[in-house]
Amino acid sequence: MWIGIDDTDSMQGGCTTYVATEIIKELSRKYDLIGFPRLVRLNPNIPWKTRGNGAIALHFGRGYGKRIEVGYIGKKIFAYEKGIDIFENVSREIKKIMEKHAFMHDEKTNPAFVICKTKPSYSLYKKAVRSIVSIGEARKEAKNCIYKTYKNGRGIIGSIAAIAWKPYDRTYEIIAYGKEKWVDEESVIKMDKECKTCFDNYDYENKHIAIMPHANSPVIYGIRGENVEELKKAMRMVVSSAIERWIIFETNQATDEHLQKKKIKDVRPYESVIVRGVVKKEPLVIKGGHVIFSIYDGDEIECAAYEPTKQFRNVIKGLRKGDVITVYGGVREKPMTINIEKIKIEKLAKVYKKIENPRCPRCGKHMKSMGREKGYRCPKCGTKAGEKDAKYVIVGRELKQTFYEVPVVARRHLAKPLKRLLA
């Protein structure tokens, strides 16, 4: 049986992954975990998410084949590579855990859990990671499942979509939980340098420990990586407050599964897109330090590198009219803007700088400009000349025809780091 849960936490505290550890602790007394517990990130642009729009899927049954240690929750937790499905009504046990740990009183928290016999259609996951799913659609998909929703029932969307995910691409995250929360920075840097298959642990440019959540939750840290054994080694290397439990999730983090290639005319709010175009309006720094420019592919759309993207804004400021670029990012509704996660500079335009006004062919004097892009006129004899008659030099460009991404501190869960993309 597959169990999906979502929307149990709030800004005040909690964490859906912690509720998952409680369910694993309880149900692993009777059943085996088949495959890793799954942490599935969904559409990062929906307005009603609490933080990272994460939901959980767990698969229980009778395991066989290779087993691997995936956590410690008062006892070692193992997951089996293969298993025989068991479907039982475990809603009483899950309900008890949900009602104890979910932040029900928070108006934005609308928990749900689903118990499925078979996996829902993959297309539901695809829609949930890329656009908006209605509660009705999710209920319809769950019609043969046992489920319980609380309050406005929205949690059913994430619960069922998490089960629908198939790990065509995947990464892992090891999450450590405890009462006190501190992490030794030096040990994180050492771990980051040594554990090559881990990523997004430390932001060297901004001196930021990325494995530690800011949120008020039982999570001490979460380390991301490609390799389960190296994640365990990374956990042993990080010096932190006492770890009471830990678990490894298989995730869709760092896979770019939220992105879809689009023409500008087809871009819709709350989606995440990959759009290729030519820079039309050059970058402008607005109040708050955000950098805005536009691209054109027959239609025009604004793009932004907001202040939290820090040094990435310097890349964006270097763009010039005529540069051909591909932007990757989430779409904000008003004003419709692509919030850039990464960018590929396909072709840098030649940028010219005027160094001398044209000389009058009759009297040899330097001509005077008649205004922006209006040409030149000789002040003595009135002879006219065009813009092209002035003397120009080609300006060197600092940018290269390659990818640039936001720093680790501003990285979205689903965004594929260049370390993975270009590997």
Site residues, ligand ATP (CB under 6 A): 6-7, 9, 16, 42-43, 46, 48-55, 110, 128, 132-133, 154-155, 157-158
Pick between residue 104 and residue 132 the one whose CB is nearest to ligand ATP.
Answer: 132
Q: Are 33 and 133 contacting, i.e. CB atoms less than 8 angstroms apart?
A: no
Pick between residue 50 and residue 197 the one whose CB is nearest to ligand ATP.
Answer: 50
Q: How far is CA 221 from each of CA 21, 48, 218, 241, 308, rounded to the nearest angstrom?
A: 15, 24, 9, 10, 21
Pick between residue 164 and residue 325 the one whose CB is nearest to ligand ATP.
Answer: 164
Pick between residue 222 and residue 283 the one whose CB is nearest to ligand ATP.
Answer: 222
Q: Are 408 and 245 contacting, i.e. CB atoms less than 8 angstroms apart?
A: no
Q: Are 258 and 43 contacting, i.e. CB atoms less than 8 angstroms apart?
A: yes
Integer Cα distance of 247 and 230 in angstroms? 14
Residues in the chain: 423
* Largest distance between two CA atoms of the chain: 99
Report, in Å, the least distance between residue 418 CB and ligand ATP.
Answer: 23
Residue type, 254: A
Integer Cα distance of 352 and 338 in angstroms? 28
Report, in Å, the least distance between residue 49 CB and ligand ATP.
Answer: 4
Angle between helix axes 122-130 and 155-164 (nearest 10 degrees) is: 120
Report, in Å, the least distance between residue 70 CB and ligand ATP.
Answer: 19
Q: How far apart are the first and last CA of the chain?
A: 36
Measured in whole angstroms, how far is the alpha carbon of residue 411 from the centre of its chain?
A: 6
Report, in Å, the least distance between residue 174 CB and ligand ATP.
Answer: 16
Pick between residue 40 and residue 90 the one whose CB is nearest to ligand ATP.
Answer: 40
Report, in Å, the least distance between residue 12 CB and ligand ATP.
Answer: 12
Q: Are 36 and 250 contacting, i.e. CB atoms less than 8 angstroms apart?
A: yes
Find, among 6, 59, 66, 7, the residue nearest to 33 by Cα: 59
Q: Are 340 and 347 contacting, i.e. CB atoms less than 8 angstroms apart?
A: no
Report, in Å, the least distance between residue 157 CB and ligand ATP.
Answer: 3
Integer Cα distance of 237 and 228 in angstroms? 14
Q: Are 293 and 7 contacting, i.e. CB atoms less than 8 angstroms apart?
A: no
Q: Which residues share a beta bridge with 365? A: none
Integer Cα distance of 211 and 416 in angstroms? 16
Pick between residue 48 and residue 352 the one whose CB is nearest to ligand ATP.
Answer: 48
Report, in Å, the least distance between residue 256 CB and ligand ATP.
Answer: 16
Pick between residue 57 and residue 128 the one whose CB is nearest to ligand ATP.
Answer: 128
Report, in Å, the least distance between residue 171 CB and ligand ATP.
Answer: 15
Q: How far is CA 294 from each of CA 283, 304, 341, rounded to the nearest angstrom?
A: 8, 8, 15
Pick between residue 4 and residue 61 the one whose CB is nearest to ligand ATP.
Answer: 4
Pick between residue 7 and residue 230 the one whose CB is nearest to ligand ATP.
Answer: 7
Q: Which residue has the tokens 């892009």?
A: 373
Report, in Å, the least distance between residue 270 CB and ligand ATP.
Answer: 8
Say whether 93 sits in a helix, a strand or coil: helix
Report, in Å, the least distance between residue 53 CB and ligand ATP.
Answer: 4
Pick between residue 28 and residue 110 the one whose CB is nearest to ligand ATP.
Answer: 110
